A and B are shown apart, each in its own frame.
Chain A
Amino acid sequence: MQKNLSDAAIAHGTRNIWSGLLFGIGLVAFLDEALFHQLLHWHHFYDKSTTSIGLVSDGFFHAISWFATVGGLFLLADLRRRNAYWFMKWMAGVWIGAGGFQLYDGIIQHKLMRIHQIRYNVDIFPYDLTWNLLAAGMLAAGLLLMNRARRQSRKFGGGGDAHE
Chain B
Amino acid sequence: MHMNNHASWFLVWKQGMALGAFLALAGYLWAVWAANRKHNKWPLYRSLFWMAGILCAAAAVTGPLAEMAHTDFAVHMLGHLLLGMLAPLLLVLSAPMTLLMRALDVKNARRLSAFLKGRYVRVIGDPFVAAVMNIGGLWLLYTTSLYEMMHHHPGLHALVHIHVFFAGYLFSAAMIYIDPVPHRRPFLYRGIIFVLALAGHGILSKYIYANPPDGVDPVQAETGAMLMYYGGDAVDLGLIILFCWQWYYSARPRRMVASSQQSGLM
Contacts and interface: CB of A to CB of B under 8 A. Distances in A.
Nearest to A37: B230
Given A45-B226, A67-B191, A74 B244 contact: yes
Contact of A59 (B191, B206, B256): B206
Interface in B190-212: 191, 194-196, 198-203, 206-207, 209-210
A78 B253 CA distance: 9
Interface residues of B, number: 29
16 contacts: A48-B210, A50-B206, A55-B206, A56-B203, A59-B202, A59-B203, A62-B198, A62-B202, A63-B198, A63-B202, A64-B195, A64-B199, A66-B236, A66-B237, A71-B240, A71-B244
Contacts of A82: 253
Contact of B210 (A46, A58, A64, A81): A46
B241 interface: yes
Range class of the A interface residue count: 20 to 34
Interface string A72-90: 0010011001100000000
A144 B236 CA distance: 35
B233 interface: yes
A70 interface: yes
B245 A74 contact: yes
B209 A46 contact: yes
Interface of A: 45-46, 48, 50, 55-56, 58-60, 62-64, 66-67, 70-71, 74, 77-78, 81-82
Contact of A63 (B199, B207, B210, B245): B199
B237 A63 contact: no
Contacts of B251: 78
Contact of A45 (B201, B209, B247, B252): B209
A77 B237 CA distance: 18
Contacts of B196: 63
Contacts of A63: 195-196, 198-199, 201-202
B206 A58 contact: yes
The 9 closest A-B pairs by CB, nearest first: A59-B203, A63-B198, A63-B199, A74-B244, A59-B202, A59-B199, A60-B199, A70-B240, A46-B209
